[in-house]
Chain A
Amino acid sequence: MTTEGQISQPLSAGRMLAITAGALIAASAIVFGAILPAEFNIDPLRLGQLTGLNRLWAPREVPFDITKSEVPLAREYPSGFRSDTIEIPLNPDGSRQGGDQLEYKVRMRKDATLIYEWSVADIPHSTEFYFDFHGHTLSDGKEMTVATYKKDTGTGANGALTAPFDGVHGWYFQNQSLNNVIVRVKISGFYELIAPGEIGNEAHVIANVPADRAIAKK
């Protein structure tokens, strides 16, 4: 018997159950293997890691208003003052092997201060070098707070930062010129360096060594 809007020969119960089970298995494979890792950072089968799909996921960014602060102008810290010089080599824009951009951050507690000076030589025109000075909390798996201090082009800056929250704070540098360049960052204050490969130093930068040894082998 055919019902309105159906196939003329209804499938047998066995075939129907097989198709439904197959559809459920295929759907679950897609959901658990691809959608959950890419959209929700859930990776029960580790397939997201294997395929790299989990890199599509990013925590939701919550912008932080950096214009408000109630930190006293004079303050003390228990310990931890340090100074570091970081030399960062960057390849020319569009290099086939990449390396024309990276991010370098340090770990800071809320209200800790550092002073900095960075500059880059061999940039023909100051608009050919881009930086994004920012900080963010470590993601809780859902969202993270992001503070943008300055985004601009230019070949250097000097200043101070008081961290608005516990997290990682630093620079994204992008070489848009056709030269090999070295960025020299000098920082002093109350912060910790981040070990190569950890969040904030994914580019594996080593501090206090000459530029030719500053990128650790991954």
Chain B
Amino acid sequence: MIVLALLAIPDGFAFAHGIGGKDASFVAATKGPDILPFMYLGAKHMVTGYDHLLFILGVIFFLYRMRDVVIYVTLFSIGHSITLLSGVLLKLDINAYLIDAVIGLSVAYKAFDNLGGFQSVFGFQPNNRIAVAVFGLIHGFGLATKLQEFRLSPDGLVPNMIGFNIGVELGQMIALTVMLLIMLQWRRSANFERSAVAANALILAAGFVLTEYQLAGYFVGAKA
């Protein structure tokens, strides 16, 4: 289902979704601080960014206590904020395809971990909090490449970038709220654990799709 939904996503949400047409021309034309529009762009990027959304879904899938949800999402946010801000400021030139491929792997990793795969297959369990923070750093590089895709004016760069970052967090909170509401309902159903296995298997597959797609883009490099 998730995979089908991914395939059904219309053009404007193309894979490795960048910031498209009119938004890009807005950014290119912006000089000086213009925080609110950048916040909007950050929120939009997050809410329509299924690579980030799938990862967050994986992270909270089996977190039953609100306190844990807050801890993990905060770790993720700190991670991606660090690399988003430093990536843009230091003008780090990272290949968007490769970073998006690793982001796809992070989705697969979390689904695999959710089902207890590391213990049963490899006999050890990586620390989940550290893993989420590290993948947060990687997702942040992805965010940075998207923000760098349009030539940001140095005039007002810092406030605009921070606005974008705040927007990302707001968008994440909106998406997270919706996910938690659905998860709460879902967990009450009698066969939750069985359907949870299937759901994580699908998230795993979706992560592999994202990874392979981005690798194809990297090697062919002819995306429209």
Looking at the assembled complex, report how far the CB atom of B133 sits from the nearest CB atom of chain A, in whole angstroms.
13
B117 with A20: CB separation less than 8 A: yes
- Most central of B62, B112, B207 by chain A CB within 10 Å: B62
B191: chain A residues within 8 A (beta carbon): none
Digit string of B155-180 for contact with A (CB within 8 Å is 1, else 0)? 00000000000000000000000000
Partner of B208, one of A4, A8, A10, A27: A27
Q: Which residue of B lies closest to A26 (CB)?
A: B205
Inter-chain contact B128/A19, CB cutoff 8 Å: no
CA distance A36 to B214 in the complex (A): 11
> With A5-B72, A42-B216 in contact, do A60 and B224 touch (Cβ < 8 Å)?
yes
C-alpha gap A26/B114 in the complex (Å): 19
State the interface size on chain A (CB cutoff 8 A). Answer: 36
User: Which of A5, A7, A16 has the most chain B CB atoms inside 10 A of its CB?
Assistant: A5
Complex Cα gap A58–B63 (Å)? 44
Which residues of B sit under 8 angstroms from A35, Cβ to Cβ? 15, 209, 212-213, 216
Q: Cβ of A58: which chain B residues have Cβ within 8 Å of it?
A: 224
A60 and B222 form a contact (CB under 8 A): yes
In contact, A6 and B113 (Cβ under 8 angstroms): yes
Question: Does B220 have its Cβ within 8 Å of any Cβ on chain A?
Answer: yes
Query: Is B25 on the interface with A (CB-CB < 8 A)?
Result: no
State whether A24 touches B115 (Cβ < 8 A).
no
Q: B201, A23: Cβ atoms under 8 Å?
A: yes
- Report B98-131 CB contacts with A as 1/0, cut-off 8 Å: 0000000000100111111101110001001100
A13: which of B120, B201, B213 is its contact (CB, 8 Å)? B120
Complex Cα spacing A41 to B128, Å: 39
**Cross-chain contact of A34 among B7, B207, B208 (Cβ < 8 A):** B7
On whether A40 and B222 interact (CB within 8 A), knowing A20-B117, A35-B216, the answer reads yes
- Whether B115 contacts A11 by the Cβ 8 Å rule is yes
A6 to B212, Cβ gap below 8 A? no
Q: How far, in angstroms, from A41 to B193 measured CA to CA in the complex?
A: 40
**A-contact bits for B189-224, CB 8 A (1 contact / 0 none):** 000010011001110111111011100110010111
Given known A-B contacts A4-B68, A7-B196, A35-B209, A30 and B7 have beta carbons under 8 A apart:
yes
B138 at the interface (CB under 8 A from A): no
Residue B28 interfacial (CB < 8 Å) = no
C-alpha gap A34/B213 in the complex (Å)? 11
**Contact yes or no, B193 A9, CB < 8 A:** yes
A1 contacts partner chain B, Cβ-Cβ < 8 Å: yes
Question: Is B208 within 8 A of A7, CB to CB?
Answer: no
Q: Does A31 contact B (CB under 8 A)?
A: yes
Verify A19–B204 contact, CB threshold 8 A: yes
In the complex, which residues of chain B have a beta carbon less than 8 angstroms from the beta carbon of A20? 112, 117, 204
Chain A residues, CB < 8 A from B113: 5-6
User: Would A10 and B119 be within 8 Å (CB), given that A5-B63, A30-B209 are in contact?
Assistant: yes
Q: CB < 8 Å: which of A1, A23, A40 contacts B204?
A: A23
CB nearest neighbor in B for A28? B212
Contacts of A28 in B (CB 8 A): 208, 212
Check if B121 sits within 8 Å of A13, measured CB to CB. yes
Q: Measured between C-beta atoms, what is the minimum distance from A55 to chain B in Å? A: 14
Instruction: Tell me if A160 is interfacial: C-beta within 8 Å of chain B.
Output: no
Least CB distance, B64 to chain A, in whole angstroms = 9
In whole angstroms, what is the CA distance A40 to B15 when docked? 13
Query: For residue B202, which residue of chain A has the nearest CB?
Result: A23
How far is the CB of A157 from the nearest CB of chain B, in Å?
A: 32
Q: How far is the CB of B17 from chain A (nearest CB, A)?
A: 13
Q: Which 4 A-B pairs have the closest CB atoms?
A: A10-B116, A27-B208, A23-B205, A23-B204
| Known A3-B125, A5-B60; 10 more pairs at CB < 8 Å | A5-B61, A6-B114, A7-B200, A10-B116, A17-B121, A20-B117, A23-B111, A23-B207, A26-B205, A28-B212
Q: What are 10 A-B contacts with C-beta separation under 8 Å?
A: A7-B193, A11-B120, A16-B115, A16-B116, A23-B208, A27-B3, A30-B209, A35-B15, A41-B222, A143-B222
